[in-house]
């Protein structure tokens, strides 16, 4: 196929571009560095109107222009039926996460389903969310398909203050979404000794 024909297919809707951004784009240079996996502050602002006595910009939005994972599509997708095989996991075990993805638009398209995790309490400060897995799937209009992820000790581990690769027991937030700022499904689970 010639490049001109490929561009024409995208512009006329014959092909759905399903790409996602691998970085966050700031609104202004004053927001740099900006990334989705930032560390929580002592008094985080909850939104753009929550600025007094909070860690927030006084003259800019808290949010990037385009967040990590942002992408455009000619179709839309619905996330539903989030299921966990268990809400408690031992260090040598796994949890299977499954959900249903449905193309609710008029065009065939590809979606990248993101799985983010957050360690609520750890010996070191952990990011507010970390991308731990993703799955790209192509669906026809009206088509639904199951998507599955497996969470194991490796996905819950980090380097502690002694530079040991550890997974500490505690509660984790599970977030499934289309982008870092577009979380569609959430659940909690616990890692036990």
CA gap 147, 174 in Å, rounded: 15
The residue count for the chain: 193
User: Best-predicted range by mean pLDDT among 8-17, 18-27, 33-42, 127-136?
Assistant: 127-136
- Which domain does 147 fall in, by range? 75-192
Give the domain CATH number at 106: 2.60.40.10
Sheet holding 95-103, edge to edge: 77-84, 95-103, 144-151
What pTM does this model have? Answer: 0.89
- Give residue-wise pLDDT tens across range 137-162: 999 999 999 999 999 999 999 999 99
User: Best-predicted range by mean pLDDT among 8-12, 27-31, 53-57, 172-176?
Assistant: 172-176
Question: Residue 30 to residues 49, 57, 64: CA-CA distances in angstroms?
Answer: 18, 9, 11
Q: For residue 4, what are the contacts with CB-CB under 8 A and spacing of at least 6?
A: none
CB 114 within 8 A of CB 181: no
- The count of domains in the chain is 1
Considering the domain boundaries, does residue 110 fall inside one?
yes
Considering the domain boundaries, does residue 27 fall inside one?
no
Write down the pLDDT at residue 13.
Answer: 76
Considering the domain boundaries, does residue 1 fall inside one?
no
CA gap 17, 20 in Å, rounded: 9
- Give residue-wise pLDDT tens across range 83-124: 999 999 999 999 999 999 999 999 899 999 999 999 999 999
């Amino acid at each position: 196929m010639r490049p001109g024909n490929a561009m024409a297919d995208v512009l006329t809707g014959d092909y759905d571009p399903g790409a996602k951004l691998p970085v966050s784009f700031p609104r202004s240079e004053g927001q740099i560095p900006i990334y989705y996996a930032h560390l929580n502050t002592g008094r985080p602002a909850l939104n753009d109107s929550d600025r007094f006595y909070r860690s927030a910009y006084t003259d800019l939005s808290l949010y990037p222009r385009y967040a990590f994972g942002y992408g455009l599509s000619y179709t839309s997708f619905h996330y539903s039926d989030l299921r966990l095989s268990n809400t408690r996991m031992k260090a040598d075990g796994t949890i299977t996460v499954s959900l249903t993805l449905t193309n609710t638009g008029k065009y065939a398209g590809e979606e990248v389903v993101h799985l983010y995790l957050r360690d609520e309490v750890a010996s070191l400060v952990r990011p507010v969310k970390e991308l731990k897995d993703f799955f790209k799937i192509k669906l026809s209009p009206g088509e639904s398909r199951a998507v599955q992820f497996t969470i194991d000790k490796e996905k819950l581990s980090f380097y502690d203050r002694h530079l040991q690769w550890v997974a500490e027991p505690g509660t984790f937030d599970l977030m499934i979404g289309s982008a870092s700022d577009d979380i569609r499904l959430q659940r909690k689970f616990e890692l036990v000794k």
